[in-house]
Structure 1
Amino acid sequence: MRITGLFVKSLIAGALLSATALFGSAGTALADETPVPATGESENADGPEAAAPTEAGTSFRTAAAFRPGQTASAEASTGDYLYWVFPADAGQRPTVRATVTLPESAAARKGALTWQVDVYDGLRRRQPCVSGAQTKAVAADADTVSLRCTLRTVRAWAEPWSNDPLPGSYYVRLTVVNAQEEDLGMPVRTEVEAATPGAGGAYAVGGKLSEPLTPGITEASSETAVTASEPEDGWSSGWWTDRWIWTVVGGVLGALAGIAGYTLARPSRRA
């Protein structure tokens, strides 16, 4: 009985020590990854305190960069192609929202307008929307239209032939896709924002992309397209997920189940 008691205590102590070491190392790693600005260091234009852009680009190369949580705006004309870019990292599920306001009165428009928001990754591959109204028509007597596009969860890596979303720059393109010729050129006000909540440990995968997806150098010019700013905690730095918690809990439960099975199955000893 004494040997059995020592065996049980050693298993429980080992499980608790493993859990403590895992959570302790996770906390240390997260603390080490937290950037500490130097004394007197000021935020630059690309830093987390940078203001949201009030203009939009007209192509991938001139896209206006903004961060998730900011609201980018632009004054434009109906028929213009408007571009913005923001960063999305592994384990995040981006959602893009766009609002178009038509300041002109309903009497000035000849018909309904259909607006569309598209999202492209760093390789300029159009990513499908899994939910949300990506395309919507605004009636001739309406003044605003709201669009939304939720992408699939960004993966840490993928096969070369797949179209899975990967960490890097994501480009937003907003434009009208159906309008009468008389309505083209009308002034509009646009607002775009992006949210990148974490999808949780259920979507965590092994592997890691060596570099975030960003456009390469074009053949016609040595200049590259505008890329999104690096996330505040770096690319693919969020290795900690709730999957680790369930792994530790499963290990402890497995150890306890083994102890219970051993206790029930061991032969009884008679004095």
Structure 2
Amino acid sequence: MRTRRFMTAALLAGVALLGTAGTAVADSPSPSPSSSGSGAGPTEAGTSFRTATPVQPGQRATAGASTGDYLYWVVPVDTGQRATMKAKVTLPKAARHGASTWQIDVYDGLRRRQACVYGAQTRAAAADAASVEVSCTLRTVRSWAEQSSNDPLPGSYYVRLTVTGLPQDDLGLPVKAEFEPSVDEAGGAYAVDGKLSKPLVPGVATADPEDGSSASPAPAAGKRSAGALEPEGGWSSGRWSDRWVWTAVGALLAALAGIFGYSVTRGSGRPSRVPPGV
């Protein structure tokens, strides 16, 4: 009876702790796809890394361009997030001379080209196609990595969309581009112990505390600085991981299992047989 009561108490404690862990994970400060900025985004795109147009995950950016232009956007991606960059190009209705090939590339804050683990990064559009879509899903962003590795780190991610192959006579035809980034939370399975002191965000103005001057030029009027772009709620930089909760839950359940095992194996403290006359 005592063993049964102990098992029931341990089970109830484990269920309560698991519920607490789920709540803690849900309250993580890292932004989720549903809480990110949504709705209409910017209506233009940059033409280089320095002029990339900032876009929040969940927003849909649009831009008019000419075939052959390089279009740039920049997206903030935080620790524990897996980003997916999708782009759609609406091709001109005018007669075209042949097929065209479109490609999307993603670079991190150090301008290192990041590999795509999912998605069609390059696609060909037939001469009579109305549109073409490309996408790139990155690896999960880590809070820290070795210097020799190419792991994605928290910070700004630059997205470049361009045509890589088409007949010469089709250069300059008008196109319409749509770009929409999204992020998914990966959780503590990808957490590491180290973290960056600051996210990789190039172009952030650094002020001199003595004279208040800025080391970086101010952005042009009407343009938002890419360095000012950050996830809603700010950068986490690895300050939280649900791995902490699961580690504590596992340790407590192991302790309860040890106590239960001791209570089962120690016996009643009396010999199983009592000799006659004792």
TM-score (norm 2): 0.76
The residue that corresponds to 2:120 in the other structure is 133
The structure 2 residue matched to 1:56, chosen from 45, 51, 69, is: 45
Distance 1:223 1:83 in 2: 20
Pair 1:248 & 2:248 matched: yes
Secondary structure of the structure 1 residue equivalent to 2:152: coil
Computing the radius of gyration over CA atoms, which structure comes out larger, 1 or 2? Answer: 2
Opposite residue 175 of structure 2, the aligned amino acid is V
Q: CA deviation at 1:180?
A: 1.1
> For residues 37 and 129 of structure 2, what CA distance do their matches in structure 1 show?
36
| Cα offsets for 1:196-221 (capped at 9, x unmatched) | 1111221121111111102259xxx9
Question: C-alpha distance in 1, partners of 2:151/2:172?
Answer: 36
1:161 has 2:186 as partner: no
Q: Check whether the contact 1:87–1:228 (CA below 8 A) recurs between aligned residues.
A: no
Q: 1: CA distance between counterparts of 2:203 and 2:228?
A: 14
Work out the percentage of aligned pairs sharing the same amino acid. Answer: 61
**Residues 222 and 233 of structure 1: CA distance in aligned 2, closer, same or farther (over 3 Å):** closer
1:56·1:84 contact (CA, 8 Å) conserved in 2?
Answer: yes
Matched, 1:97 2:72: no
Structure 1 position 103, deviation (Å): 2.7
Please give the alpha-carbon distance, in whole angstroms, between the structure 2 residues aligned to 1:228 and 1:191.
Answer: 23
| 1:181 equivalent in alignment to 2:168 | yes
> Equivalences for 1:1-271 in 2 at 5 Å?
52-105=41-94, 108-215=95-202, 223=217, 226-227=226-227, 229-236=229-236, 239-270=239-270
Q: Tell me, yes or no, if the aligned pair for 2:39 and 2:60 is still in contact at 8 Å.
A: no
Unaligned runs of 5+ in 2: 31-35, 205-214, 219-224, 272-278
- Does 208-217 or 119-128 show the bigger shift? 208-217
Give the letter aligned to residue 130 of structure 2.
D
Letter in structure 2 aligned against 1:109: R
Structure 1 residue 195, shift from structure 2 partner: 0.6
Offset at residue 52 of structure 1 (A): 1.2
TM-score, scaled to structure 1: 0.78
Shift of 1:85: 0.5
Q: What amino acid is aligned across from residue 68 of structure 1 in structure 2? A: P
Q: Unaligned 5+ residue runs, structure 1?
A: 35-46
Q: Is the 8 A contact 2:114 2:152 kept in 1?
A: yes
In the alignment, the residues of structure 1 paired with residue 134 and residue 143 of structure 2 have an alpha-carbon distance, to the nearest angstrom, of: 28
C-alpha contact 1:104 1:187 (8 A) present in aligned 2: no
Question: SS of the counterpart of 1:60?
Answer: coil
Which is further off, 223-232 or 129-138? Answer: 223-232
Deviation for aligned residue 1:238: 6.7
Structure 1 residue 254: Cα displacement: 0.6
CA shift at 1:185, angstroms? 0.3
RMSD, aligned CA: 3.6
Whether the 8 Å CA contact 2:143–2:238 is kept in 1: the answer is no
